[in-house]
Amino acid sequence: MLFSSAIFLFCFLPICLFLIWVTNKNYHNYILLVASLLFYSWGEPIMILIMISSIFINYWIGLKLMAYNRKIALIAALIFNLGLLITFKYLNFIAENINHVSGFELLSLPQILLPIGISFFTFQALSYIIDVYRNQVNPQKSILDLALYISLFPQLIAGPIVRYHDINDQLKQRSLTLKKFESGVQRFIIGFVKKLLIADNMAYIADTIFNYNDSELDTPLAWIGIIAYTFQIYFDFSGYSDMAIGLGRMFGFEFLENFNYPYIAKSVKEFWRRWHISLSTWFRDYLYIPLGGNRKGSTRTIVNLIIVFLLTGLWHGAKWNFIIWGVYHGFFLVIERIIKPKNTPKILSHFYLLMVVIVGWVFFRAENLAHAIAYLEKMFVPSTSLDFPNNVKYLINKEVVIISSLAVILSTPVKNMLVNMIQMKAGKWGSVLKTSYYSLLIALFLISISYMVADTYSPFIYFRF
């Protein structure tokens, strides 16, 4: 089930909210658990068995961490969870590469279907086990509460990755207030608009251009395509995170932020402090620091960074493109640690960051490495096509220009500055500004719904991860 679908927006969500707001709080976890399992099984009823298995086994291991040899229990949890991820996400990839290197059909496997969101709920399960192992939290005695943590539908499919120690207390007790609900609705609408109005329109341009063959593609079109994708992936994923955070607030939860305007960063290091924060901090706390972080000398730090970003790329998918993308970002992080430029003009630092990120997105978006290399060649080896004016006219109209302008504005903190200004104003003008802001949100929401009804939206990019 998609957040950007009529069945969710007009049926599933209203029913869930009604049940939560009219029933005693003692029943809220039960209602949300049933709703979450229904949400996940809506499109993949068989795959729910994988998640339920994960819940039961991680619950059992969590209890054993306190009763038996802690390290053995931790190793068992790592083997199970990573084994689950490898089996469903990477086994076909491993077999294909073994066959390719050997030149023989050594491994013949049926195509294994990838359960939606397995990378997210597996990392959340690992967070629970590791937090218990580190004595940061007590093992969860209620299997229903642990099941809710792993399966909670607002962030189940595409994040953000919610770590157990951040939400443990909220599983037991949380507040439902009109103020929090209002804030959640606003945040959900913002995410919905990002996805339907901006990301999907950018997706049409990016998909069209990336599907061109070499003879049709020229340098200007290649740059238009990757810039469109740069906006698409940000507004698609940050839009989903906004909707997840907003839904969480509607049900009384507070999830941590997952994006903080990454495209205003001035270094790759800063970019990763702002992009997919829940994933970067997960790898930092559960992998980079345990590996030694930057405490064991510069050489070990470089090795640790490369390992972390190789796995970051692999986490996104079982393709060499993703691995190259991860190592590519790790390489620039290493370069930044070694060179440490000083007094660089901000505009040059920002340009450097955008160029690194945009080029990196080519590997992320292309179908394979050959496609990525060919696309990069079109970007950087000047060429023009006689059909360029017609192609631009076909892809870019007044509507796209307006949406692109909105994308540029929402990629910066300008909106937050305006909202803060409205909140600081008092009296008559403050009320007028607030009413105008709400009216604009509602108008954009209705326009986005019209796109949804017209069936012009596409699935969230991060569903496949």
Per DSSP, the three-state class of 223 is helix
- Residue 377 and residue 445: Cα distance in Å, rounded? 40
Catalytic site includes residue 165: no
CB under 8 A, 24+ apart: contacts of 330-333: 330/305, 330/306, 331/306, 332/268, 332/356, 333/268, 333/269, 333/272, 333/305, 333/309
Residue with tokens 């008092």: 426
Task: Please report the DSSP string for 130-199 in residue order.
Answer: HHHHTTSSPPPS-HHHHHHHHH-HHHHTT-----HHHHHHHHH-----HHHHHHHHHHHHHHHHIIIIII
Dihedral angle at the C-alpha atoms of 115, 119, 121, 126, nearest 10 degrees?
140
Name the amino acid, one letter, at 107: L
CA-wise closest residue to 356 among 237, 232, 271:
271
Residue with tokens 């496609």: 371
CA-wise closest residue to 88 among 57, 47, 45:
47
Whole-number Cα distances in Å, 283 to 166, 277, 290, 304, 400? 16, 10, 10, 11, 37
Please give the backbone phi and psi of residue 179, each rounded to the nearest 5 degrees, phi first: -65, -45
For 76-128, strand residue ranges (E) read none
Residues 6+ apart with CB under 8 A from 65: 73, 74, 129, 132, 133, 139
* Alpha helices, H only, 194-274: 200-210, 219-250, 268-274
Whole-number Cα distances in Å, 117 to 37, 122, 361, 461? 13, 8, 21, 11
The catalytically annotated residue of 316, 329, 350, 371 is: 316
Decide: 283 and 126 in contact? Cβ < 8 Å: no
Angle between helix axes 200-210 and 388-395 (nearest 10 degrees) is: 150
Angle between helix axes 398-410 and 414-424 (nearest 10 degrees) is: 70
Catalytic machinery residues: 316
